[in-house]
Structure 1
């Protein structure tokens, strides 16, 4: 496992933050630059879509690969490889002259970026497995960072494109990757010990992932997490259309709404990690989270129906405060429980599986929502409600299953 030489909490979080930023920010940062890049290469919209999809697919596939390799070869070796190749590919993208080269390099860059999706929570488990409060706080901090990155990335990307060049996007990524590589090389040591029963065969890889999925606790928390990512991906993709087309708000108003919701979410994460987690069990936190989301969505639907879609967008965001609180409860609790539900030798595989499933299920749910979306917010809200009702039943089923097992043991 990876340990901090000076055992400093700040240094550990700094490395994890760099890993998250270098893996997630390039994907977000490039969005404002896509029209400029398309114009530079003289490419069609479809080709630029292929470039974006190539990066998305390589992220998903590489997360499964990294999930296994970090549990076999150690955290440090894999990080050195990923950050070094990320630097090479980022520099190479700056020099490309054709759109085909750009697509290929974006695919390769996605393979390097995928390490962050797996390693962030793996390192949290490695560093603070013995301190449950620090573990939960670290998970909350990382989830907060994932919420902030899209906001910062879009603003930064727009500034870079307008005042400098689209190449600056990848220059920044090169700098961040170099910083992370420096920290791994000189500030951290890897105490990873390869398991004696570890095999590199494809059969053993599949078997190890199957072993994780057959764990009842893992299946419980993973199913709820994936279902949550499903509706969240679908709603966040289509809500801009709702605000801009159905409510006819300006981009400025929509941006303010986005900041409001993110602010509610971050405050909720702070409250959950510092107060609620100490007073409620994980099962209670999950139930509170799901109930809060249903409450928030119910308020939203009811008020929209009563006022005939004439409420101000800021009021709508306030109605979603329970949903933001519910999401913070779910993400903080589910991720903490998931990384704690497996052996230390399977933590990487667990995070790899979560990342891969999140990306693929998110893509599928976006496709489903695109077919259900009728231009009104109600279709999105009903989809959110349906997913969370399913989550409630899933949670009740597994909690009941645990109780029956306990009764059998006691008898």
Structure 2
């Protein structure tokens, strides 16, 4: 039993490191935008193209790796993706033009997303559906290191050693992660030759997954709720540095404080799931999210919200998202064991695509004030609850997330 717990802890840490690779790749270089813009003879806003190309690489890559993980097992496609990531990261710090940097960022994301998809699929491999929501919560805890640590580390490296040192550090980290994956990570589900890699078959496989009422309900509702986090990431500089005129240093502290709400709620899910079903927790999270979405525009439109009250509002909103996310993921993936890789890939694709589209509204609507931003938050909140309620009625044979399923699997 002790060795099993030790194995579980080691596995969770490795899976957490895999899921944190892309967030670190995003958050770590953001403070270096001004220096990089100067190096590439462009402006800071143009540097956001490198962020957009990374998001596109993440979304596209996830759809590819899902079938590969089901066909060849978990580790070989993961090796392939990590090697691409390492190559592209070297290309990033050697780039001499903005165009080549944007291209290498796309390739970097295309390779690195294998880590996240493999980690999600392996949670389903090694843990029961009931345990998986707790594991997803623990992964969020590890993932939470990124917004707390990565920008500070990246800013320090950029100032002391230059912006290229950020990508040298990412190269070293990814090589270390590759070695850990090779020597310490269990195989998980093995190769299954019944999975075809023909484009038509892959498309039909994804269609069969999205047509599953349980997956479509919880994946879509969870992705729309999770989109609130993307909206926050896109809008938070405007909210705090333009609307409330806080300093860059104060913004960093506020960002960290609000990240604690998202991370803390995901951890609170662990004791909650021992008492309540994942579906009840998810309904409560969506309901409270909608309640906050109702209050936020009223307060913003009436001019009642100051800096402190806005922080409280966002803290509660992000806490609801943090509570909903692991339960939605666990329930969405519960019906799948044979093709968990493809299901995890499609879930990740939906989260990234819906989240990116929601964040675009911040720019499209030129949301430079608190009220239009609060309306976007409200939209994601109400839509997620609506999808959940409507979709739940379509699920006729639900795969329950129960503690009676097979637990941790050793190989």
Place the TM-score, normalised by the shorter chain, in its bin.
0.7 to 0.9
- Counterpart of 2:149? 152
**1:292 counterpart = 2:285:** no
Which TM-score applies when normalising by structure 1? 0.88
- Return the match for 1:327 from 321, 326, 330: 321
**1:26 Cα offset (Å):** 1.2
- Return the match for 1:368 from 337, 361, 379: 361
- Counterpart of 2:36? 37
For residues 50-109 of structure 1, what are the alpha-carbon distances to aligned partners after superposition, in whole Å with 9 as ceiling and x for unaligned?
433332222211111111111111111112122223223323333333434323322222
Q: 2: CA distance between counterparts of 1:305 and 1:48?
A: 33
User: Following superposition of structure 1 onto structure 2, how do residues 352-367 of structure 1 map, counting pairs within 5 Å?
Assistant: 352-367=345-360
- Counterpart of 2:258? 261
Q: 2: CA distance between counterparts of 1:309 and 1:325?
A: 22
For residues 15-56 of structure 1, what are the alpha-carbon distances to aligned partners after superposition, in whole Å with 9 as ceiling and x for unaligned?
112212322211221212222122223245576344333322
Which TM-score applies when normalising by structure 2? 0.88
Contact kept, 8 Å, 2:134 with 2:269, in 1: the verdict is no
Summarize the Cα distance change of 1:191–1:305 in structure 2 as closer, same or farther, 3 Å threshold. Answer: closer
**1:299 Cα offset (Å):** 4.1
Q: 2: CA distance between counterparts of 1:239 and 1:104?
A: 27
- Shifted more, 182-191 versus 62-71: the winner is 182-191
Q: 1: CA distance between counterparts of 2:226 and 2:385?
A: 15
Unaligned residue ranges in structure 1 (runs of 5+) = 406-411
Query: Is the radius of gyration larger for structure 1 or structure 2?
Result: 1
**1:60 counterpart = 2:59:** yes
**1:399 Cα offset (Å):** 2.8
Contact kept, 8 Å, 1:23 with 1:115, in 2: the verdict is no
For residues 278-301 of structure 1, what are the alpha-carbon distances to aligned partners after superposition, in whole Å with 9 as ceiling and x for unaligned?
222222112110121223344444
**1:339 counterpart = 2:338:** no
Summarize the Cα distance change of 1:404–1:113 in structure 2 as closer, same or farther, 3 Å threshold. Answer: closer
Contact kept, 8 Å, 2:18 with 2:177, in 1: the verdict is yes
Q: 2: CA distance between counterparts of 1:334 and 1:176?
A: 30
For residues 298-327 of structure 1, what are the alpha-carbon distances to aligned partners after superposition, in whole Å with 9 as ceiling and x for unaligned?
444454466x3462x233222444323321
- Secondary structure of 2:25's match? helix
Q: 1: CA distance between counterparts of 2:4 and 2:75?
A: 13
Cα RMSD over matched residues? 2.7
**1:220 Cα offset (Å):** 0.7
Contact kept, 8 Å, 2:219 with 2:350, in 1: the verdict is no
- Counterpart of 1:408? none
Contact kept, 8 Å, 1:257 with 1:314, in 2: the verdict is no
- Secondary structure of 1:197's match? coil
Contact kept, 8 Å, 1:5 with 1:188, in 2: the verdict is no
**1:118 Cα offset (Å):** 1.0
For residues 107-155 of structure 1, what are the alpha-carbon distances to aligned partners after superposition, in whole Å with 9 as ceiling and x for unaligned?
222221111231221121112137x23x222100212333331231111
Contact kept, 8 Å, 2:37 with 2:44, in 1: the verdict is yes
Contact kept, 8 Å, 1:148 with 1:262, in 2: the verdict is no
